[in-house]
Structure 1
């Protein structure tokens, strides 16, 4: 478990962020991370000229790397299709308490699992031994995440999240705030992740905003 001092150090300094994946979601996350002054390593199963070109197009502060280099970052985003997660997470060893953001969705299921049946994020946590897994960034399309999280004065786009490690969630809340989002912690993976899960989760696909000066959350039509 991360200590309070570790969480505070995340809040004070620019972070090294890694992404296992390089598609639309990975690129949207990178845009927002760069706007907050962080550095990002994107990755794919094989280092290619196309990956290098994608990193170059995203701007200064982004580099292309292997999944092993991406997974060595302070905070790592898993941005591959759920069916590809076992291969993407294979051979990465023990995570040593680092944070893994699970942005996957298990589209093989028509509804969220019943209580007592592991959520997709709990399955991801079993694959990533020693990682503090937080479910986030899976409920909103990449094109929306890449856009300004403050589309009108006084409002910020909500990013919902769930996880079991409180200090790790605190550090991610700080990161999301730096990126311009309004983080909302739903609770632990066993129950809260079901609210986010696509398909069928109550919050899946909603584009929510919160007033900066209050607690009112509004649903916005796309």
Structure 2
């Protein structure tokens, strides 16, 4: 998809998590001129120095306020998701982007989820949400870098069971300067995107 998504342009966007991936996404949103808010478990005050570099484009908010956005990007450790989203009973069709990877620390091995995909677990934690898997296959320094190179645009993969949500996130990825590739439903795309999948850490360019 190469067109701008009207829904993503008009939607409020929140990045939940300010670690390496969350910080990388904030930098890319700022560079693309797309307003967003960012939150973490320590409170908005802890992000003041970080967000100062973005002027007014990226604002720090409390986590409870970030959870009200139209598009909420989960950019945190997989184990932190239950507590982070626990205050929302019904997501009422809003989009949740799962940018997490289910990893055992400190050995960085794939988590055993009893045969479930990590995004299936996340989906159960956000009832009523349209869940899209995205932003989890590039390492943070690569994700933070300019996606436009002399050889082409950096590729970002996504998948989800709701086609309308996939289109919205494809448009957002395009607006950020990346080349989006929609892998279809979670059953097809998530196994390829998750930590031990063939697309993990895959840094591809599309001319």
CA RMSD of aligned residues (A): 2.2
Match of 2:138 in 1: 140
Please give the per-residue CA displacement for 1:36-91, whole angstroms capped at 9, x wherever unaligned: 32211111113153212212223321111112211211211101100111111111
Match of 1:87 in 2: 83
Note the 1:1-222 alignment, pairs <5 A. 9-10=6-7, 13-108=9-104, 110=109, 117-152=115-150, 155-198=152-195, 200-211=196-207
Give SS of 2:149's match: coil
TM-score, normalization by structure 2 = 0.89
> Contact between 1:20 and 1:67, CA under 8 Å: does it hold in 2?
yes
Match of 1:218 in 2: none
Task: Flag the structure with larger Rg.
Answer: 1
Which consecutive residues of structure 1, in runs of 5 or more, have no partner in the other structure? 1-6, 212-222
Structure 1 position 93, deviation (Å)? 2.2
> Contact between 2:24 and 2:144, CA under 8 Å: does it hold in 1?
yes
Structure 1 position 98, deviation (Å)? 0.9
Alpha-carbon distance in 1 for matches of 2:37, 2:56: 11
Which consecutive residues of structure 2, in runs of 5 or more, have no partner in the other structure? none
TM-score, normalization by structure 1 = 0.83
The list of structure 1 runs, each at least 4 consecutive aligned residues, that deviate by more than 4 angstroms after superposition, is 109-114
Alpha-carbon distance in 2 for matches of 1:76, 1:30: 13
Q: Which has the higher contact order (CA 8 A, sep 6+)?
A: 2
Alpha-carbon distance in 2 for matches of 1:210, 1:33: 20
> Contact between 1:25 and 1:142, CA under 8 Å: does it hold in 2?
yes
